């Protein structure tokens, strides 16, 4: 699911579009066009499909508003949100950290359906004001009213990753006081609903001859079932990582070079053996000045390598995302994954104190998951063992 493209930014939140979204556009335009053509035969076929396409685009604008409801609520409650992705089944807000309390999880989850419900009311009033007749504008307003109502109700079904799954989990979390138990309960309920979707869809397709819509329903059920499994794995991960800081996993002695080092020696002494993707550029007093990667070399012709200092091609420290050694590892992983970084410099008072590499984080996660499977999650929680990075080099 990595084929998504950034299209624009709203209030600091990046909006991505996944390639599967194009399938949804085609499917909705086609089915809405057929619906309008059957309901308003006086429009003609061309108009019906044109209004179908317009309605589809507006549908996704409303899906985006729903997601922005989650995102802005999350941000106002201290959860950093960096992106929203529109894909086949709608939209998803990518929160970089999990909510820390049941109250926050509840509020963030309920915000989306509330926005959809408000929009449904608003479009219903506009539809009524437009006379409710068979004009194109009134038909689109009526469609937006009902589709927002469906969005609100569908998302409240208590199945992960729908909002209702999170609403359910936050309530169970509040009552039991245990995130693990709440997640287990919510996952079971999610799988039950997913199975109902699949069974209902197959029945509709095979029993009642509604082939396309039945399969679509079954497909949604299959998607929900997989997501429920994934979110229970995510919950195990959350538990494994609780209380682990960046310094427990970072490379405490990353390779670094002086700003005057020629690009040639950066290449031959550090990058060519393939063990490092990036090298930090440091002043003699240890201040982080920048980061230089293999791809920065593309700015230069080969004959310039021996005469150019790395400071000319590095990404300066002011433009780098960095973490501190005491930052939550989970937050740092969110930053790595959310921005597709391979490494993050670890900085304290402007000085480079380590490097957090994606490969080391992956190794660490695999190790901890193995441990927690062998020991049971409870006993491994306070065991903050360190792993030493496989390839440690001092530059
Ligand atoms: Zn939602």
Q: Which two tokens stand for residue 114?
A: 């509330």
State residue 387's pLDDT score: 30
State residue 97's pLDDT score: 66
State residue 132's pLDDT score: 61
Query: Cβ distance 344 to 278 under 8 Å?
Result: no
Confidence of residue 299 (pLDDT cuts 50, 70, 90): confident
Q: Which residues contact 134 (CB under 8 A, 6 or more apart)?
A: 40, 42
pTM flag (> 0.85)? no
Query: Cβ distance 158 to 168 under 8 Å?
Result: yes
Distance 72 CA to ligand 1 centre (A): 12
Inform me whether the pLDDT recorded for 352 exceeds 60.
yes
Instruction: Give residue 172's Cα distance to chain centre.
Output: 24
Residues forming beta bridges with residue 354, ordered by sequence position: 346
Distance 10 CA to ligand 1 centre (A): 17
Q: Which two tokens stand for residue 24?
A: 């949804």
**Three-class DSSP category at 233:** helix
Distance 88 CA to ligand 1 centre (A): 14
272 versus 259: the higher-pLDDT residue is 259
DSSP letter for 160, please: T
What mean pLDDT value characterizes the chain?
82
**From CA 324, how far away is CA 282, in angstroms rounded?**
17
Confidence of residue 87 (pLDDT cuts 50, 70, 90): confident
Confidence of residue 144 (pLDDT cuts 50, 70, 90): very high
Q: Is the dihedral of CA 272, 274, 278, 283 positive or negative?
A: negative
Distance 75 CA to ligand 1 centre (A): 15
> Residue 345: what are its φ and ψ, rounded to 5°?
-65, 140
Q: Which two tokens stand for residue 347?
A: 């900085």
Share of the chain above pLDDT 90, in %: 22
Query: Cβ distance 174 to 102 under 8 Å?
Result: yes
**From CA 170, how far away is CA 92, in angstroms rounded?**
18
224 versus 58: the higher-pLDDT residue is 58
Distance 84 CA to ligand 1 centre (A): 11
State residue 30's pLDDT score: 92
Inform me whether the pLDDT recorded for 376 exceeds 60.
no
Distance 262 CA to ligand 1 centre (A): 51
Distance 171 CA to ligand 1 centre (A): 17
**From CA 50, how far away is CA 33, in angstroms rounded?**
7
Burial class (CB in 10 A: 0-12, 13-18, 19+), 129: exposed
294 versus 355: the higher-pLDDT residue is 355
Report CA dihedral (89, 337, 366, 291) to the nearest 10 degrees.
160
State residue 145's pLDDT score: 94
Q: Which residues contact 240 (CB under 8 A, 6 or more apart)?
A: 365, 368, 369, 372, 377, 380
State residue 381's pLDDT score: 31
Query: Cβ distance 82 to 94 under 8 Å?
Result: yes
Distance 260 CA to ligand 1 centre (A): 51
374 versus 324: the higher-pLDDT residue is 324
**From CA 42, how far away is CA 167, in angstroms rounded?**
44
Q: Which of 168-172, 209-213, 228-232 shows the lowest per-residue confidence on average (mean pLDDT)? A: 228-232
Inform me whether the pLDDT recorded for 294 exceeds 70.
yes
Distance 90 CA to ligand 1 centre (A): 9
**Three-class DSSP category at 249:** coil
Inform me whether the pLDDT recorded for 71 exceeds 80.
yes
Distance 116 CA to ligand 1 centre (A): 9
**Three-class DSSP category at 15:** strand
Residues forming beta bridges with residue 81, ordered by sequence position: 95
**Residue 161, preceding bond cis, omega within 30 degrees?**
yes
Distance 125 CA to ligand 1 centre (A): 23
Distance 362 CA to ligand 1 centre (A): 29
Residues forming beta bridges with residue 345, ordered by sequence position: 355
Query: Cβ distance 394 to 253 under 8 Å?
Result: yes
Please compute the mean of the pLDDT values over residues 220-235 and round it to a whole number: 80
**From CA 219, how far away is CA 171, in angstroms rounded?**
28
State residue 92's pLDDT score: 74
Distance 181 CA to ligand 1 centre (A): 23
Inform me whether the pLDDT recorded for 111 exceeds 60.
yes
Of 165, 33, 184, 53, which Cα lies nearest the Cα of 109?
165
**Three-class DSSP category at 242:** coil
Distance 70 CA to ligand 1 centre (A): 7
Inform me whether the pLDDT recorded for 343 exceeds 70.
yes
Distance 114 CA to ligand 1 centre (A): 9
């Amino acid at each position: 699911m990595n084929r998504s493209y950034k299209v624009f930014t709203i209030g600091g939140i990046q909006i991505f579009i996944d390639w599967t979204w194009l399938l949804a556009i085609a499917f909705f335009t086609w089915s809405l066009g057929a619906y309008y053509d059957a309901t308003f035969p006086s429009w003609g076929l061309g108009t019906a499909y044109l209004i179908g396409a317009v309605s589809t685009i507006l549908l996704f604008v409303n899906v985006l508003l729903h997601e922005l409801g989650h995102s802005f609520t999350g941000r106002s409650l201290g959860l950093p949100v960096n992106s929203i992705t529109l894909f086949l089944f709608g939209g998803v807000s990518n929160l970089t950290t999990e909510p820390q309390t049941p109250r926050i999880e509840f509020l963030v989850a309920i915000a989306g359906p509330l926005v959809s419900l408000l929009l449904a009311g608003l479009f219903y009033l506009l539809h009524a004001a437009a006379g409710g007749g068979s004009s194109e504008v009134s038909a689109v307003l009526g469609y937006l009213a009902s589709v927002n109502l469906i969005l609100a109700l569908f998302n409240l079904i208590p199945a992960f990753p729908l909002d209702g799954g999170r609403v359910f989990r936050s309530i169970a979390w509040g009552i039991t006081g245990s995130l693990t138990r709440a997640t287990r309960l919510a996952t079971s309920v999610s799988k039950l609903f997913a199975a109902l979707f699949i069974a209902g869809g197959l029945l509709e397709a095979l029993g009642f001859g509604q082939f396309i819509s039945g399969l679509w329903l079954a497909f949604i059920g299959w998607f929900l079932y997989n997501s429920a499994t994934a979110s229970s794995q995510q919950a195990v991960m959350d538990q494994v990582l609780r209380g682990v800081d960046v310094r427990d996993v970072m490379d405490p002695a990353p390779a670094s070079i002086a700003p005057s080092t020629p690009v040639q020696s950066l290449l031959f002494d550090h990058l060519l053996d393939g063990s490092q993707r990036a090298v930090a550029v440091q002043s003699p007093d240890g201040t982080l000045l920048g980061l230089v990667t293999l791809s920065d070399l593309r700015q230069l012709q080969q004959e310039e390598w021996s005469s150019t200092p790395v400071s000319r091609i590095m990404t300066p420290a002011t433009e780098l995302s960095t973490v501190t050694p005491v930052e939550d590892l989970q937050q740092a992983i969110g930053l790595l994954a959310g921005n597709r970084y391979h490494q993050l410099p670890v900085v304290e008072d402007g000085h480079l104190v380590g490097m957090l590499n994606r490969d080391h984080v992956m190794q660490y996660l695999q190790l901890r998951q193995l441990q927690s499977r062998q020991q049971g999650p409870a006993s491994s929680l306070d065991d903050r063992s360190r792993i030493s990075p496989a390839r440690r080099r001092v530059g």
